[in-house]
Amino acid sequence: MSGRWARGAWAVGAGLALLAGLAWLVGPSSALLLAAGLAAIGGVSWLPGRAVRVVGAALLAGTLFACGRGGLDAGPAAALALGVAALAARLLPVAALRRLAFAIPSLVLLVFVTTLLMYEAPGNPFAQERVASPQVEEALRAQYGVPRSGTAFFAVYMKRLLLDGSLGPAIKVQGRGVVDLLAPAVPISMALGLLALIIAVALGLLLGIRAGLRPQSAADYGSMGLAMLGISLPNFVIGAALMIVFALQLGWLPVAGWGGYAHLWLPAVTLALPYAAYIARLARSGTIEVMQQDFIRTARAKGLPERSVVLKHALKGALLPVVSFLGPAAAGILTGSFVVETLFGIPGMGQWFVKGALNRDYSVVLGTALFYATLITVFNLLVDLAYGWLDPRAVSEP
Amino acid sequence: MGGAAGALLEVRDLHVSFDTEAGAVPAVRGVDLRVQRGETLAVVGESGCGKSVTALAILRLLDPSGRIERGAVRFDGQDLLGLSEPEMRALRGRRIGMVFQEPMTSLNPVFTVGDQIGEVLAIHRGLGKRERRAEAIRLLEKVGIPAAAERVDQYPHEMSGGMKQRVMIAIAIACEPEVLIADEPTTALDVTVQAQILDLLRALQQEMRMAIVLITHNLGVVAQFAQRVLVMYAGKIVERSDVATLFREPLHPYTRALLRALPSRSAHAERLVSIAGTVPSPLEYPPGCAFCARCPDVLPRCADDEPRLEGVEAGHAVACWLHAGTGAR
């Protein structure tokens, strides 16, 4: 008993200390809001199944409504959102709804925290060398919906997002919305990220499994040496080296710039190599471990050819560590693309992320952050699903 | 000991060693065994005596570090050590089945038991998907699993240890093999389940007329189950006999010590009897008898001069200087 009390006291103490720290950083009211948000998200874990169905479906309805408002009037959007949410509440397993109930508030909290941090950074979208008169600045703030306090801006932003499905006007690019700015960049960045992810997984698995099947062989030392290089070299070095060899010396691929999908190969490989190296190391250790298991001997005793022993019985087990790494890897590849996009001069999302941050263009920063966060959330969800398929012992709730 | 002609499975002068950092370690040092159709041969000995290695060597399933140095394995007239890998695969799981000690880890956790039984049916019997499922259910029923039609879609972690061992047996007998090698099939199970599994094996053996090579350290299991026994110590066979003779008249001091160490009902509340000393390390087997350091009846010549396995009467042979030259060859 005393142990539990002590732990509880520690938890409360740590929570209060955290709150005090936050209050000092972002102000007491924001700190309270933040703590409440965190508590609400954490609380989802303890919600009973029936409540999860209601909460999850309601959150889904809200999200769908906001998405639908991008192209539809309020009526049809509401009908669509409610219909799909009702179906989801009926059909989806509790585990899936619980993840939704966890993910959607997390995204809202992310917007809130990003807003607070943006407002803490010096300067603002309207600060220029030539100081504008207070009246002019007020008029601009009103026009673009940028109040002076972070929490107020958060309220404006969320209201606009939920009711109109709009990411707001770009403050520094006159007459255009954030969606208009990002729309042409999204497919380019997605293609780059996806290609890089595919290269990383394919190359990493190939090298890693080959090495793991024959540890201490030439193939093993070769691929692990390569992996060490891939992990150690920063991607601006790899990128430059690839440019010199494949674009300048061999002339197979364009050096940089954007003019079609041939321009994607070099940046995708640059982006993929470090992750391919990590995946190779994980796949190697996974393979070595699984090949020592008793069930591999059973598979051989059945008379299975070695190919089936490896591809069927060993592969799923060898994939487990790789799959757990894929969530963070996808996040890393997507955010890592900022550097590579800049290096290769590719007009993807990365430029807006950087420009938005430098210009203090709050709407653009939030738009890109929200986009990437959503992507990473979805990806983690997929990884969870894949994990359940790979390892039936990772039981989920009914 | 002649009469090898009718043997279904015959191992002659098998030597197996493992490569380690300390050099090649001998695990099996000249094992001979013969199994007739339909009979049960037990191989008894303590851990590390080479009995499991012998079994794995017969199916050529040794780890990469293990090497068959010398010897012959003949099955139904074929030299197994001379077969190509695909020819060997065609025998494994079809004509020679194997059951392992650890049912907990011998089944793949990420496939349903139906899938794992179905695999053998696909490669050796060429069954289609639906036939495989039906046959897997039939096999599960055959090994005594209730509600087989539901169990077939379960994963190993949803089953008890005894149930998993039944699944392993179902896999091993799926193609009605002529020989079943059971490597400590009951060791990891609790006592009541052990008896059930042995009963199951016996029933299956009678039904399918298969030979069983039962590898165990449990003399109780041997007495219940086998017709003939090989006693192994430090990689060699020290005594070979039929079961009744072995229990009535054990000759090798190691066998006698093993039998004394069996807990008996009359001697309850006394301390369990153990064999003094330890098994010598495979790196330093003496030139003579490997048991000499622990032997109560040791003779001067034992340490340097190795006794050979010699027949003392029909069907009973022992490798011990105490009995050398006492019986008819």
Contact B34, B76 (CB under 8 A): no
Out of A294, A302, A317, the one facing B102 most closely (by C-beta) is A294
Residues of B whose CB is below 8 A from A307: none
- Are A66 and A165 members of one domain? yes
- Are A98 and A76 members of one domain? yes
What's the confidence (pLDDT) of residue B328?
44
A101 belongs to a structural domain: yes
- Are A127 and A39 members of one domain? yes
- Are A298 and A227 members of one domain? yes
Tokens encoding B295 = 């032997």
What's the confidence (pLDDT) of residue A33?
83
A84 belongs to a structural domain: yes
Cα–Cα dist B236/B27, whole Å? 9
Q: Which one is predicted more confidently, A163 or B14? A: B14
Contact A272, A197 (CB under 8 A): yes
Domain count, chain A: 2
Q: In the A/B pair of chains, how many CB contacts fall below 8 A?
A: 67
- Are A96 and A212 members of one domain? no
Segment B179-196 mean pLDDT: 88
- Residue A309's domain is classified under what CATH number? 1.10.3720.10
- Are A69 and A170 members of one domain? yes
Residues of A whose CB is below 8 A from B92: 300-303
- Are A326 and A194 members of one domain? yes
A16 belongs to a structural domain: no
Q: Which one is predicted more confidently, B205 or A348? A: B205
Cα–Cα dist A309/A286, whole Å? 15
Last residue of a domain, one of A126, A150, A175: A175
- Are A286 and A236 members of one domain? yes
- Are A167 and A197 members of one domain? no
> Quick one: pLDDT band at residue A145, thresholds 50, 70, 90?
confident
The dihedrals phi and psi of A313, each to the nearest 5 degrees, come to -80, -35
Q: Any idea of the CA torsion for A132, A133, A135, A138, to the nearest 10 degrees? A: 40
> Residue A44 belongs to what domain range?
27-175
- Are A228 and A307 members of one domain? yes
Tokens encoding A174 = 């006159």
Taking the CA of residue A21 and the nearest CA in chain B, the distance in Å comes to 46
Residues of A whose CB is below 8 A from B108: 295, 298-299, 313
Question: Model confidence over B221-252: pLDDT tens digits?
Answer: 888 889 999 999 999 999 999 999 999 999 99
Last residue of a domain, one of A143, A175, A207: A175
Asked whether residue A336 carries a pLDDT value surpassing 90, the answer given is no
Residues of A whose CB is below 8 A from B97: 301
B65 closest CA partner among B22, B119, B126: B22
Q: Do A293 and B86 touch (CB under 8 A)?
A: no
pTM: 0.77
Angle at A26 between CA A365 and CA A376, to 5 degrees: 40
A106 belongs to a structural domain: yes
A151 belongs to a structural domain: yes
Average pLDDT of chain A is 83
Taking the CA of residue A306 and the nearest CA in chain B, the distance in Å comes to 10
Cα–Cα dist A323/A320, whole Å? 5
Where exactly are the structural domains of chain B?
Answer: 252-329
Taking the CA of residue A201 and the nearest CA in chain B, the distance in Å comes to 21
Last residue of a domain, one of A323, A346, A369: A346
Residues of A whose CB is below 8 A from B155: 392-393
Q: Which one is predicted more confidently, B248 or A334? A: B248
What's the confidence (pLDDT) of residue B5?
55
Question: Model confidence over B154-163: pLDDT tens digits?
Answer: 999 999 989 9
Asked whether residue B214 carries a pLDDT value surpassing 80, the answer given is yes
- Are A156 and A190 members of one domain? no
- Are A197 and A125 members of one domain? no
Out of A298, A303, A390, the one facing B100 most closely (by C-beta) is A298
Segment A230-246 mean pLDDT: 83
Question: Model confidence over B38-90: pLDDT tens digits?
Answer: 999 999 988 888 889 999 999 999 988 889 999 999 999 899 999 999 999 99
